[in-house]
Amino acid sequence: MTPRADDGQVPVWLTNLARSAELMTVPADLRPPPGGGRRSAILILFGAGSTLGPDLLLVQRSQELRRHAGQPAFPGGVIDPDDDGAVGAALREAAEEAGVEPAGVDIAGVLPDLYIARTGFQVSPVLAWWRRPVPVAPGDPAEVSAVERVPVAELANPEHRLMIRYPNGGAGPAFRAGAMLIWGFTAFVISQLLVLGGWEVPWDNGNVVELPLTGIPPDIDTPAQAS
């Protein structure tokens, strides 16, 4: 596994967030079952951002994909045999999908694995600091249609938060960030990070939007089972 960065390279607030997140309680429906699933990794990449404070790197999947079409997500994918574990896979996927240079990224920690039941993926979230940002853009438009650096303050803004009710009756957190509507697994992770990072402010969780919505597949699962 790629070694962690020295403490001096990662902001103290992110080091503290990583320590808290490594000990977070994983809901029962997100815990990997005995034997796990297909190993994959995502890169949760924080950057210095602007006057609004730190930001997060997100990609939007192409509408042409067979799975997770059109969904905003963290860069990530399956861990290949040649990868250096979850960290190596997360960095490789971020480079391929968004043009991130791995040499400019410092690893803050690897969070507890999460499980996406619908697809059978066991996901290792890799928390990282973007020490040397570079311009980003979709690596392969057939897979990624957009890449955005979204301020954490924008995600925490109560006006940008809502709940989505899924066709099976379940509901989960969602975020509006520019043209993106972030839901499902990605929204669950962001919601947890806002709490652990001390960024969450009171918001109206009674603001529930029903699916299907324009541009969103009607067969979306609950947050614990969506991508």
Distance CA 129, CA 110 (A): 12
**H-helix segments, 48-128:** 85-98
Q: What is the pLDDT of residue 26?
A: 87
Name the burial class of residue 53, with classes exposed (0-12), middle (13-18) and buried (19+) by CB atoms within 10 angstroms of its CB: middle
Threshold 0.75, pTM exceeds: yes
Please list the residues that pair with 175 across neighbouring strands: 161, 182
- DSSP state at residue 13: H
All structural domains of the chain: 7-210 (3.90.79.10)
Distance CA 193, CA 199 (A): 8
For the segment 146-161, the average pLDDT, to the nearest whole number, is: 96
Q: What is the pLDDT of residue 226?
A: 38
For the segment 166-193, the average pLDDT, to the nearest whole number, is: 90
- DSSP state at residue 212: P
Residue 225 predicted with pLDDT over 90? no
Range in 21-25, 75-79, 153-157, 191-195 with the lowest mean pLDDT: 21-25
Cα 14 vs. chain centroid, distance in angstroms?
Answer: 16
Distance CA 97, CA 105 (A): 15
Share of the chain above pLDDT 90, in %: 64
Kindly write down the DSSP assignment for every residue of 169-201, as one continuous string.
S-EEEEEEETTEEE-HHHHHHHHHHHHHTT---
Q: What is the pLDDT of residue 212?
A: 55
80-105 pLDDT per residue, tens = 999 999 999 999 999 999 999 999 99
